[in-house]
Amino acid sequence: MRKLLPAALGTCAALFALAAPASAAQPAIIGGGDATETYSFMVSLDNGCGGSLVSPQWIVTAHHCGDASQGRIGSVDQNSGGEVGRIDNVVTKPGTDLTMMHLTRPAQAAPVPMAQSNPGEGTTARLIGWGCTTWPGCGTPSTLQQIDLTVLASSACAEGGGAAGDVCVSGDQAHSACHGDSGGPAVVGSTGNWTLVGETHGPGDNQGECATSTLYTGIAQHLAWINQQIGG
């Protein structure tokens, strides 16, 4: 299935690829605005993707992003601020788009709590990333973008490859995740009190790249495996 890819050198490769590329970047946010707070858990990986700090030494991201050597944690600026952590190990759950990256040293930033169950249909979810802000064509911001959209029934993203344990988020031509957001978070909650519910995987349908609903790998269904990696 197609996946959201990185936005590199001012251009966008196919957001969702038929085969997982060697490296990709988080899709960006269309129709959003500058981040209204500093998300301590938000990670900008040096391969162009996003990620979420879920424990002091572990980042959750997308397998289709490929490898990364470091990540900038807890900054709204993709190129400065926060803290930079080096990555020394990558573990992927077989058969999924879920990857965890291990930091050589614990980060000082606060990790994001992880959902134990999927949010209900109609819940407001916040998407965060540095991906394309326009599509077609791709303009990428240096300031972290955010947008609040609505959780749909998981079946609404079935055409894009989603299953019951995944999280499907609404979107249209003016409001969507896009190239450069891959691996980044979908969260629910309120300022300073967020819970990670999904990791950006790709478009929710099989028709376009950006400007559509977005499929997120559901965190709750993989929570036991994630905690096993953290504990190991």
Question: Domain spans of the chain?
Answer: 24-34+113-220, 42-111+222-231
Do residues 127 and 29 make contact, with C-beta atoms less than 8 angstroms apart?
A: yes
Q: In this structure, what are the phi and psi dihedrals at residue 29, rounded to the nearest 5 degrees?
A: -100, 125
CA-based nearest residue to 12, from 31, 32, 26: 26
Q: Where are the alpha helices (DSSP H) in the chain?
A: 223-231
Do residues 195 and 189 make contact, with C-beta atoms less than 8 angstroms apart?
A: yes
Do residues 150 and 197 make contact, with C-beta atoms less than 8 angstroms apart?
A: no
Give pLDDT, residue 19: 27
On the question of pLDDT at 27 being above 60, the answer is no
**Per residue in 133-183, pLDDT tens?**
988 888 888 899 999 999 999 999 999 999 999 999 999 888 989 888 999
**Per residue in 44-81, pLDDT tens?**
999 999 999 999 999 999 999 989 999 999 999 999 99
Give pLDDT, residue 13: 32
CATH topology of domain 24-34+113-220: Thrombin, subunit H (2.40.10)
Q: What's the whole-model pTM score? A: 0.88
Non-local (6+) Cβ contacts of 9 within 8 A are: none
Q: From residue 64, how far is each of 24, 48, 155, 179, 182 by CA, in Å?
A: 6, 12, 22, 12, 8
In the block, residue with structure tokens 């944690």 = 73
Domains 24-34+113-220 and 42-111+222-231 share a fold: yes
Diameter of the chain measured on Cα atoms: 43
DSSP secondary structure string for all residues of 214-228 = EEEEESGGGHHHHHH
CA-based nearest residue to 54, from 210, 154, 168, 185: 185
Give the three-state DSSP class for 114. strand
CATH topology of domain 42-111+222-231: Thrombin, subunit H (2.40.10)
Q: In this structure, what are the phi and psi dihedrals at residue 114, rounded to the nearest 5 degrees?
A: -110, 145
